[in-house]
Structure formats: C-alpha cells, structure tokens
C-alpha cells in the first residue's frame, strides 16, 4: 500500500516508539519507570487505534509484532475505534 505523507509520518512515528519502548518497565523497582512505561504504552495503543481507523491495521500489527517481545497486542485491541 502506498502511504500518503501524513500516514507515512504516523507509521514512522509508531515504528520508532514501538522499537524504543521499554517493554520490561513493569519489572522495575523504580516507580518513575512504571509511570513512564505505562504512559508510553497508552500512547502506543492510542496511535495503533488511530492507524486502524485510518485503514492501516496491517502496518500497525506488523510493527507491533516485530518489536514487542512476548507482548502481543491481540487483534481485538487493534480493532478499537480511535
């Protein structure tokens, strides 16, 4: 699928955020890591839902499953409206 400029930017942002997310934040003893990690996770899901609403579900899932170690987002989570 050929992405438009705005769509491409959102996909690239999502890719970068997913790639750099601390997937093990919940294992930290430091509360600040919990807070930051939880905030990041909520933002990732928000962007994923936005991508789905834009018709870019496959792109969002591909990125998520590439970088999320043992943290799969179920298909139902990708189907929520933005």
**According to the 3-state scheme, what is the secondary structure of the chain?**
CCCCHHHHHHHHHHHHHHHHCCCCHHHCCCHHHHHHHHHHHHHHHHHHHHHHHCCCHHHHHHHHHHHCCCCCCCHHHHCCCC
- When divided into structural domains, the chain yields a total of 1
Look up the pTM and report it: 0.80
pLDDT tens per residue, range 7-22: 999 999 999 999 999 9
The 10s digit of each residue's pLDDT in 52-79 is 999 999 999 899 888 887 655 655 455 5
For all residues of the chain together, what is the average pLDDT?
A: 85
- Domain residue limits at 49: 5-78
């Amino acid at each position: 699928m050929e992405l438009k400029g705005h769509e491409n930017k959102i996909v690239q942002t999502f890719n970068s955020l997913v790639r750099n997310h601390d997937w093990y934040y919940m294992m930290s003893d430091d509360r600040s890591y919990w807070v930051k990690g939880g905030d990041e996770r909520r933002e990732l899901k928000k962007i994923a839902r936005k991508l789905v609403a834009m018709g870019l579900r496959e792109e969002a899932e591909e990125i998520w499953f590439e970088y999320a170690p043992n943290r799969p987002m179920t298909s139902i989570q990708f189907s929520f409206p933005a």
